[in-house]
Amino acid sequence: MKVIAGPASQLLACRIAREMGIAPSLVEFRRFPDGEAYTRILDDIEGSVAIIQNTLTDPDFVALLQLIDACSGAEKVNVVIPYMGYARQDRQFKSGEPVSIRAMARAISADSVFTINIHDEDSMQYFGTGATNLNAAPLLGQYIASLKLSDPVLIAPDDGALYLAKSAAGDLGIDFDYLEKTRHSGDTVTVHPRELDVGDRDVVIIDDIISTGGTVAEAAALLKQQGALDVYVAAVHAVLAGNAVLRLFSAGIRDIIATDTIDGGSGCVSIAPLVARALGSL
């Protein structure tokens, strides 16, 4: 199999290729004078290929479509989208809106597609057959266990992220819980871990995406008020938009633990072994 590194995922693609014991194919990317993207794979397109490219930005998405087309001569085209953008617009919230993830997924034509912790697993239906969503949370859990924190507890900011806390904890013996809102009256709401007391414990807030950091900053403040010691954040996708990093550290976050689905960020946990295993099983 050949590993084709998209412009947004070069580092991860190199790590995946290394795991597979091969060298990544070289690709030329540049822009025409009018701003359009030019893409050329500098390798023979034959056998099976695996294109690694996240779709964080619109140009990233265009590059992915170009690479898929450039691989038309391959026997099998496999696509790995480490961070699948537009996945949070997974329904029509207001009339006139698109289901953006559906529009994006339908445009991706490949023999197999792999995503990593897509925002909602139900969105996988839009890719058609041959699409698999991989779960990087156990890798985050192993890294967290290696930190030797003080009586750690994993806290999901809502029940939607509870599966991440549960699968990160796995059989490592780490407690996990999620934040629940209790409405006491029309305008009084308290937020607290559903079952566990975080007092005098190190806490890791775990979520799929950190974008603006707002969700985690709010959760961190609450957990500190409830007596948590050090508060870390773990995320599969460290989008870290705008001044999210400053916002998190100002909210008292001790450190950011993230995977490398997004190149050039704070990813200290590589998903390369997970992806290489999935590609190797094709």
CA 122 – CA 128 distance, rounded (Å): 12
CA 242 – CA 24 distance, rounded (Å): 32
Q: Minimum CB separation from ligand R5P for residue 221, in Å?
A: 13
- How far are the Cα atoms of 49, 155, 157, 219 from residue 192, in angstroms, in the given order? 47, 10, 10, 9
Whichever of 141 and 213 has its CB closer to ligand R5P, that residue is 213
Task: Say whether residue 123 binds ligand R5P (CB under 6 A).
Answer: no
Q: Per-residue string for binding with ligand R5P, 208-237, x by CB under 6 A? A: xxxxxxxx----------------------
* Nearest in space to 206 (alpha carbons), one of 250, 269, 264: 269
Q: Minimum CB separation from ligand R5P for residue 185, in Å?
A: 26
Task: Say whether residue 135 binds ligand R5P (CB under 6 A).
Answer: no
Whichever of 2 and 102 has its CB closer to ligand R5P, that residue is 102
Q: Are 205 and 231 in contact (CB under 8 A)?
A: yes
Q: Minimum CB separation from ligand R5P for residue 258, in Å?
A: 12
Percent of the chain that is helix, strand, coil (3-state, to 5)? 30, 30, 40
Concerning whether 2 is annotated as a catalytic residue, the answer is no
Residue type, 186: G
Whichever of 62 and 99 has its CB closer to ligand R5P, that residue is 99
Task: Give residues 146-185 in contact with ligand R5P (rule: CB under 6 A).
Answer: 157, 161
CA 216 – CA 218 distance, rounded (Å): 5
Binding segment toward ligand R5P, per CB under 6 A, in 126-134, 182-190, 206-214, 221-229 = 206-214
Which residues contact ligand R5P (rule: CB under 6 A)? 157, 161, 207-215
